A = this chain, B = another copy of it.
C-alpha cells in the first residue's frame, strides 16, 4: 500500500516573459524557493498556475524542466493533468507517472456541465485504465466555481473504494468547510487538502492531509510551521499562530490571488516579468505587493 499523501503543497505560479512564453529561469528559481521555504510538494498546473493557459506539449516540457534543472525531484511534484478530454488527460497523467511524480492533480472534465456522478465515475475509471500504471496516484481536484462540475463526497468515496491505491487524495477548493468535512467523513481512505490554510487545522483534526494553497507561493515557511505544530499535536501553538497566517491569506485573496502573488514576486526578485499574466487575465500592478509583503510570517 502506498503511503498516504500528506503535507503542504504549492500550486506553482507560472512566470511569463513579455511575449507570454514561460520564463524558465524565474520558474525554476521560484520552485526552488518554495521547497527551501518548506513545502512538501509542488503542483505545477493548479488554477494559481494559470494551468489552462498551457498547451499539452508545454505542460510536459515544464514538468521535465523542473526535474532536469534540479529545481525539484520528480517525487516532489504532483502536476495538474485534468483537461476536458480523456486522451490528453491520460497522456499528461502517464507522462507524470513515467517521470516519477508523486501524484497527479486532476480536474473533472469541465465544460461537461451537468455531468452525473455515474458519468464522472466512468470517466475516471477509463482514465485509470488508460494510464495503466500501478504507480498512479490521483488527487481529485474539486473547484466547482471554475470547473462547473465537481466531485460529490459520494463520488469521491466510490472512486476510492473502486481504486483504493489510486484515488487517494482530494483538493477541495470549494472554500466550503461543510463540503470539506463531508468528503473526509464519506471517504476516510482519501487524504483531503483544503484549498486554503485557513481550514487546514480543522481538516487535519479530522484526518485531512494538509493543504494545497495559493499562499504556499508566498508564505510557505509560516504555513509549514502551522502544519508542523498540528502534526506535533501542539494545538495551543497552532491556534496562536493561525491569525498571523490568516492575515497573509486575506491579503493574498484581496490581491486577486494570482495578480497579488505575482506582484509580490516582482518586488522580491526585482524582475518585472513577474507582473505578466496570460490573457484573458490582465497584468498585475506593482501596488498589489505591499499588503502581501507586510504580512509574510517571519518566525
Interface residues of A (CB under 8 A from B): 20, 52-56, 58, 84-88, 91, 108-113, 115-116, 118-120, 122-123, 126, 145-149, 278-282
Contact = CB atoms under 8 A, between A and B. Distances in A.
Contacts of A20: 86, 126
A146 B84 CA distance: 12
Given A146-B111, A146-B113, A148-B148, A123 B86 contact: no
A87 B282 CA distance: 18
Given A87-B58, A148-B146, A52 B279 contact: no
Contact of A55 (B88, B120, B122, B126): B88
Contacts of A281: 112, 115, 119
A282 B86 CA distance: 15
A13 to B, nearest CB: 16
Given A53-B84, A85-B52, A85-B53, A147 B111 contact: yes
- Residue among A113, A147, A280 with the highest chain B CB neighbour number at 10 A: A280
A299 B110 CA distance: 40
B146 A280 contact: no
B55 A123 contact: no
A52 B84 contact: yes
12 contacts: A52-B109, A53-B85, A53-B109, A56-B88, A110-B110, A111-B147, A113-B145, A116-B280, A122-B279, A123-B280, A148-B148, A149-B280
